[in-house]
A = this chain, B = another copy of it.
Amino acid sequence: MHAEQPAVRTGRAKRLPRAVRERQIMDAAVEVFSRLGFHAASMDEISEVAGISKPMLYAYLGSKEELFATCIRREATRMMEAIAHGVEPDQPPDVQLWSGLRAFFGFVGENRASWQVLHRQASSQGGPFAEELADLRGRAIGLVAALLLHSSGFPDGPRDGGKEAESLAAALVGAGESLADWWLDNPEEPAGVVAARLMNLVWMGFGDLVAGNVWHPPSRRAPEVDTDIGGSTPPAG
């Protein structure tokens, strides 16, 4: 995205390259949809925030329904890219998982409007938007299942056509989705704390947590990452 050429600002606003203009419109639309919800959001408001005329808005991105679907698709792609880029595939499995969770909660934390549109608005609208969301969930499960299969978590490879990895991936994606949704209502919790809770749940498990065994990031302990997750005093580590 940053690689795009800056618009040559010699004429009117409409001289902007189409890709730049569309990005501006979608940024505005995501903001308005997340703030007002799909129904209350109007094309008037979106065109005003985007700084273009309503006819231009329709010409560029179609009806409100089409615009919303395009927003969901773009935000989903941005999120998947952020996670895929965040994962460190050459690291041990726990660090891979941790980097993926950090990337996911980092994205949600920095793009709350995206997540609001992606998850809450798309869910509450149903129909084709719910299908976009189901499609995103399917892609995320596929990505996580592939990571599980290629990490040492399954040293023997897929013995059952990958069903085992796929079902664990479905559980993990659902856990992340639900926790991120909970986070929308509890925004005061730092990203690192939320990510560390899920990391501890799925890496250590409740069994270890009950016994006071807590997972810590390997090299650094960022001050904002409070990995204390319940149970008694964590061991030095």
Query: Hey, which chain B residues are within 8 Å of A168, CB to CB?
Result: 197, 201, 230
Q: Which of A13-21, A77-85, A118-126 participates in binding chain B? A: A118-126
Q: Which of A23-31, A42-50, A63-71, A171-179 participates in binding chain B? A: A171-179
Bound CA span A197–B148, Å: 14
In this complex, the interface size class of chain A, counting residues with CB under 8 Å from chain B, is 35 or more
Q: Which of B123, B205, B229 contacts A208 (CB 8 A)?
A: B205
A139-186 contacts to B (CB < 8 Å): 141, 152-156, 163-168, 170-179, 181-183, 186
Bound CA span A93–B209, Å: 11
Task: Give min CB distance, A171 to chain B, whole Å.
Answer: 4
Q: Which of B164, B173, B194 contacts A167 (CB 8 A)?
A: B194
Bound CA span A215–B210, Å: 15
Q: DSSP majority for the A interface?
A: helix
Bound CA span A137–B177, Å: 13
25 A-B residue pairs with CB within 8 Å: A94-B206, A123-B134, A124-B130, A125-B126, A125-B127, A126-B126, A126-B129, A126-B130, A137-B178, A152-B210, A154-B230, A164-B197, A167-B179, A171-B178, A171-B182, A171-B198, A172-B175, A174-B175, A174-B181, A201-B202, A201-B205, A202-B205, A203-B206, A205-B205, A207-B215
Query: Hey, which chain B residues are within 8 Å of A209, CB to CB?
Result: 153
Copies in the complex: 2
A207 lies within 8 A of B201 (CB): no
Q: Which of A167, A197, A210 has the most CB of B within 10 A?
A: A167
The answer to whether the Cβ of A110 comes within 8 Å of any Cβ in the partner chain is: no
Query: Hey, which chain B residues are within 8 Å of A94, CB to CB?
Result: 206-207
B163 lies within 8 A of A189 (CB): yes
Q: Which of A164, A165, A210, A232 has the most CB of B within 10 A?
A: A210
